[in-house]
Structures are given as C-alpha cells and as structure tokens.
Amino acid sequence: MQTLLLNNDDVHENANMTELVPAIEEAFAAFERGDAQMPPKSYIDLPQYNGDFRSMPAYMDAGDWDAAGIKWVNVHPDNEEQFDLPTVMGTMVYSSPETAFPLALMDGTELTMKRTGAAAAVATDHLAIEDASSLGIIGAGVQSYTQLEAIATVRDIQEVIVSDLDEERVARFIDTFEDEFDVRAGSIEEAASCDVLSTVTPVEDPIVSRDAVGDHTHINAMGADAEGKHELADEVLLDAKLVIDDHEQTTHSGEINVPYNEGVLSDDDIHAAIGEIVVGDEEGRTDEDGISVFDSTGLAIQDVAAAHIVYEHARENDNGYEFDLLGLSGRDD
C-alpha cells in the first residue's frame, strides 16, 4: 500500500464545498450521537519562540463511512516577519480506522480553512433566515474566502460587504469574487447589518457592537481561538440565540471565553451545541428569533471529516504523490 502526499493545491482542488459542508454536518451529528472520539486538544507552549503546538486527534463514524486522523498545528505570530513563514501551519495524518495504515499526509492549513468555512455554513443553514441574501465579513484574511465559498452553498448570497483595516487585503478579496457576487468594501457597521455576518479577526477587544447588528442577523464568530480573544460585544451574545460547537473549547478559547469566565455569561445563556440542532434535539432558527450567534472553535472531528472527502476525491482524480512511507513494497513476506 502507498501513502498519498497531498499538498496545498491538492487539498484545495479536492475539498468541494458542496460535499464538504454535508460531511462536516455529519461530523457534528456523530459527535452528538456518541459515534465519535475526540480527546481534548493538547498544547505545547513555547514562550521562548513566542509560539505553540496543538495536537488534535479524532475518530468519527458517520454510518456509511468512518474516518480517523490527527492534525498537528502551530501558532507562531513572529513567523512572517522573522522567517517569511506563515503564522499557522498544519499537517494532517489521515489513517485507516480498520488497519491504522497512514492513508495520506496532507496540508492541514488549507484543510483547516476549508472545514472552518464549512462549519460556518452548517450553522448558517440551521440558524440564518431562509431568504438570507447578504453576507458581511469582518476580516479579509485567508479565512474570509472559505466563509463566502461555503455559506454561498446554503444560502443564495447576492451582496457581500467586507471590512478590514488593510485595504490591500480587501482589494484582493474583491478581485477574487467580483465576477460572482456584488461585493464591496464597507464599515464594520455595514457588514454587521447583513443577513449573515462572519467575523474572522484575532482581536481581544470587541469590535462588533450591539447597535451595529441587524435585527435578524446570524453571526458566525470564527476568530477567537485562544484565551482573551473576543470579537463581539457582550450585549450581542446576551441578546442572541447562542450556539456553540463544544462547551470545553468555547469556554476556554472561543468567542464566549472572556464573558463566560468573568461571569457575564453562564450556561443558561447557551441555547445548544450545533450537534444538538443538527440531530433535531434542539431547535435552530424559529420565527420568533432575532440575532443568532455560532461560536466556533474548530473540532478535530471536522478535520477528519474533511480529510475523508479530500482523500476520496484525490484518489478518484489521481491527484497527489504516492510514496512508500512504511517501506512495505519491498518487504519479504
């Protein structure tokens, strides 16, 4: 058997959002049903390098298919300036649950962007108004692209307003999508008034006020991934139908981590986990709902579900590079 090496381009080409979004939904459902194993994300802190490593293993059984793997990912904020390297890099090891054979090694950075967008799309499908046609995005970095790509598969997005302090990033985003959408630069307030809002920034002081948010806006809070990060004003969270991906992760490092640990928010303010809504145990959007918020920290089950889609299509499309990682081809049986 051969292990498949899949680079950034291979992952991008084989992570079709129309299939990835349902796979991520299956992951949320499997987690809620108890058909998944996902040990807590572990951290190796490296203050001497101003960085850290994170390991994210998981197994999930979707019924028709199952998947297992582990993502090894870093956050080194000084990388770009000092070493001309990305701040975040990831490697995904995708293994056969039956034999443990390493089926693929793939770029985990592109995989993370794709599955993060898909997770927002799942939440949007369950929590946004049915006729949502406008999308606001605050933060025009790499994550913003997959937010639009994924959410456009579950709602008929016509208008896109992107807000970022970096005008060059906004210009690149507009250039990428102007042939497909009515996309323009705008203020935070303009973006927040859209039917759907995705926030993908690393800020620690909230930038989205309660007054800025539309009466029925659904918000995907995607930026917070560490203690202290916080994009939405507490009043937004308190007024919203609040949905999380995982209680332990969101209270530790998600959008709600600051107000939760300060006692501003409690478990009584959390409506449900997204998996509870996916399997039908809790309601998504109802006619009575105003603002809704999905607090996403990113789960390892999303990575293995996304890796499954990428691997299967890469095999079908003859993408990637096969190599004998374990030296089995020349083994004398």
Q: How far is CA 145 from CA 15, 34, 117, 125, 228, in A?
A: 14, 32, 8, 18, 25
What is the rounded CA–CA span in Å between residue 219 and residue 237? 10
Q: Are strands 90-95 and 66-75 parallel, antiparallel or unpaired?
A: antiparallel
Report the candidate in 101, 144, 114, 107 with the shortest Cα–Cα distance to residue 21: 114
Give the β-pairing of 218-221 and 292-295.
parallel
Answer yes or no: are the C-beta atoms of 52 and 73 closer than 8 Å.
Answer: no
3-state secondary structure of 71: strand
223 marked ligand binding residue? yes
Known binder of ligand: residue 179? no
Asked about 71 being catalytic, the answer comes back as yes
| 224 assigned ligand-binding residue | yes
At which residue do the structure tokens 């199952």 appear?
Answer: 66
How many C-beta atoms lie closer than 10 Å to residue 224's C-beta?
26
Which residue among 41, 71, 114, 241 is the active-site one? 71
CB proximity list for 312: less than 8 A, separation 6 or greater: none
Q: Supply the DSSP symbol for 64.
A: S
37 marked as binding residue: no
Confirm whether residue 229 is marked as ligand binding. yes
Q: Cα 70–145–291 angle (5° rounding)?
A: 95
Question: Per DSSP, what are the bridge partners of residue 294?
Answer: 220, 243
Residue 131 labelled as part of a binding site: no
Residues annotated within the binding site for NAD(+) are 115, 142-143, 223-225, 229, 296
Residues annotated within the binding site are 115, 142-143, 223-225, 229, 296
- Write out the catalytic residue numbers: 71
